[in-house]
Structure 1
Amino acid sequence: MSGRIESRLAELGVTLPDASAPAANYVPFVQLGDILYVSGQISMDADGLVTGKLGENMDLAAGQAAAKRCAVGLLAQVKAACGGDLDRLSRVVKLTAFVNSTADFTDQPKVVNGCSDFLVEVLGDAGRHARSAVSAASLPMGVAVEIEGIFQLS
């Protein structure tokens, strides 16, 4: 039987993928007490990597969709860290987001709203968080967005 958070995801038509494995010499998450640090999740969907550069070949709506895919990846990692019990997630504490964008693109916060808005839609007030949204000249494998997160668990 799925829990409260997975039921909410199902209502929204979202199925979490299996948590992705690290692409290099690092771990996908580290838990210290009730705080979980999740490594950066890149924008990817069922078709593969979501690539592009905001301000060059990707518009704001596509960037927001890419950021939402990062949120889905973050939740998949939290679920893995919780042994499959996503309801152990108490709140989202902080996100740090990197947006692959041109030097003159200044809407990084609007792009990252794709992640933030989704987390609040799924988790309610527990999804509200502190955050940073910064530009990056490039990101791994040309992805549009990468987001790391800090979460509190029960």
Structure 2
Amino acid sequence: MSNIEKKLTDFGVTLADAPAPAANYVPFVQVGDMLFVSGQISRDDEGLITGKVGDDLSVEAGAAAARTCAIALLSQVKAACGGDLDRLVRVVKLTGFVNSTPDFTEQPQVINGCSDFLVEALGDIGRHSRSAVSAGALPLNVAVEIEGIFQIK
């Protein structure tokens, strides 16, 4: 078990196997020391986390959904690193999409669920640039989808 995974267990998180792609794309692409991870959707042990933030879901529920995306992103990074998450150098950039109502403007607070978790769990290597945008709809009506760029060794 990597040092990062040991830290994750302190947060009560065990990384599951990385989810397989649902269509004609790959879960990640490595170019040099940069790893581009495809969008990970909000999902927990009970299944997909669905709904529209600002209507069906509160900001807090959206942030919890975004946290599940962070965990899925780390599962993909682990898979890309051959199971050794200690190869992660830093989280570089996240792009978060929030399934929200047209008048909802708190997308950053929702994506904070992902950002805050990564910084708490990884420390300085979890600090990143990011975008947080609204989407009128997301695949399968999920609440949140987040893609990431990571530096690995």
Identity of counterpart residues, as a percentage? 71
Q: Secondary structure at the match of 2:25?
A: coil
Q: Secondary structure at the match of 1:9?
A: helix
Q: What do residues 115-139 of structure 1 show as CA deviations (whole Å, max 9, x unaligned)?
A: 0000001110100000000000000
Distance 1:14 1:123 in 2: 13
1:104 aligns with 2:103: yes
- Corresponding residue for residue 140 of structure 2: 141
Distance 1:17 1:138 in 2: 27
What does 1:32-111 correspond to in 2, within 5 Å? 32-111=31-110
- Corresponding residue for residue 19 of structure 1: 18
Give aligned pairs, total: 153
Q: Which runs of 4+ in 1 moved over 6 A?
A: none
Distance 1:110 1:38 in 2: 22
Report the AA paired with residue 139 of structure 2: P
Q: What TM-score do the two structures reach when normalised by structure 1?
A: 0.98
Report the AA paired with residue 112 of structure 2: N
Q: Secondary structure at the match of 1:19?
A: coil
Distance 1:58 1:30 in 2: 32
1:9 aligns with 2:11: no
Q: Secondary structure at the match of 1:10?
A: helix
Q: Secondary structure at the match of 1:71?
A: helix
Report the AA paired with residue 117 of structure 2: F
5+ residue gaps, structure 2, are none
Report the AA paired with residue 51 of structure 2: G
- Corresponding residue for residue 127 of structure 1: 126
Q: CA deviation at 1:39?
A: 0.1
Distance 2:118 2:50 in 1: 22
Q: What TM-score do the two structures reach when normalised by structure 2?
A: 0.99
Q: What do residues 52-107 of structure 1 show as CA deviations (whole Å, max 9, x unaligned)?
A: 10111100110000000000000000000000000000000000010000011000
Q: CA deviation at 1:3?
A: 1.5
